Amino acid sequence: MSTTSVVDSVNVDGNDKKLKFGEKVAVVIPGTLGTFHSQVIQMFLLFFYTDMMGISAAYAAGLFLFIRIFDAIAAPAFGIFIDKMETPWGKYKPWFIGVAIFAAVFGWLTFTDFGLSGNAKLIYATITYFLYSTFKTLEIAPQMAIVPVVTKRIDDRMSMNQISYFLMMIAAMVASVAVQPLYKILGGGNGAKGFSIIMGTVAIITILIGLFQAFKIKERYTVQSKKDEKSFSLKEMLSALLSNKTALIVYGYILGINLSNGFKSTLSIYYYKYYFHNEGLVAIIGLVSMVPTLIGVAFSGPVTKRIGIKNNLVMGSIISVVTTFALIAVPPTKVGLITFIVLYVVAGLFTGISTPAAGTMMPAAMDYTEWKTGKNINGFMGSLQGFLQTFSTAISGSIAAIALSVIGYVSGAAQQSSSTITGIKILMSIVPAIIMLLTLVVIKFDLTEDKQAQITKELAERRKIAEANVEI
Exposure of 379 in the CB half-sphere (CA atoms within 13 A): 25
**153 φ, ψ (degrees, to nearest 5):** -80, 130
pLDDT at residue 258, as a whole number: 86
Residue-wise pLDDT for 214-267, tens only, equals 888 888 776 555 444 456 666 777 777 777 888 889 889 989 988 898 888 888
Report residue 222: phi and psi, to 5°: -115, 145
Low-confidence residues of the chain: pLDDT under 70: 1-16, 72, 222-234, 390, 393-394, 463, 465-472
Residue type, 458: E
Quote the CA–CA distance of 423 and 406 in Å, as a whole number: 9
Closest of 411, 30, 406, 444 to residue 206, by C-alpha: 30
Question: What's residue 4's pLDDT?
Answer: 42
**CA angle, 447 then 451 then 452, to 5°:** 80
- What values do phi and psi take at 409, rounded to 5? -65, 135
Q: What is the dihedral of CA 176, 139, 204, 69, to 10 degrees?
A: -70
Reduced to 3 states (helix: H, G, I; strand: E, B; else coil), residue 90 is strand
- Rounded Cα–Cα distance for residues 406 and 419 (Å): 11
- Torsional class of 225: left (φ above 0), alpha (ψ -120 to 50), beta (otherwise): beta
- CA 29/CA 206 separation, integer angstroms: 10
Question: What's the CA gap between 182 and 190, in Å, rounded?
Answer: 11
Global pTM value? 0.68
CA distances from 295 to 29, 42, 298, 354 (A): 20, 24, 5, 12
Report which residue type is found at 24: K
What phi and psi values does residue 87 have, to the nearest 5 degrees?
-120, 160
- Specify the pLDDT at position 1: 38
Question: What string of DSSP letters covers 182-247?
Answer: HHHHHHTT-HHHHHHHHHHHHHHHHHHHHHHHHHH----S--PPPTTPPPPPHHHHHHHHHT-HHH
pLDDT of residue 5: 41
Domains in the chain, CATH or no CATH each: 24-222+233-471 (1.20.1250.20)
Q: What is the pLDDT of residue 360?
A: 81
Other beta carbons less than 10 A from residue 418's beta carbon? 8
3-class DSSP state for residue 350? helix
pLDDT tens digits for range 178-203: 888 888 888 877 878 889 999 999 99
H-type alpha helices, 85-178: 93-110, 118-150, 154-173
Is 325 in a helix, a strand, or coil? helix
Three-class secondary structure of residue 351 per DSSP:
helix
Residue closest to 26 by CA, chosen among 205, 216, 167: 216
- Note the residue count of the chain: 472
3-state secondary structure of 97: helix
CB 89 within 8 A of CB 95: no
| CA pair distance 151, 17, nearest whole angstrom | 9
Query: Which residues have a Cβ under 8 Å from the Cβ of 173 and sit 6 or more positions away?
Result: 286, 287, 290
Among 118, 131, 130, 129, which Cα is nearest to 54's? 118
3-state helix, strand, coil in the chain (%, to 5): 80, 0, 20
The amino acid sitting at 323 is: T
For residue 42, what are the CA distances in angstroms to 108, 175, 359, 389? 15, 10, 21, 12
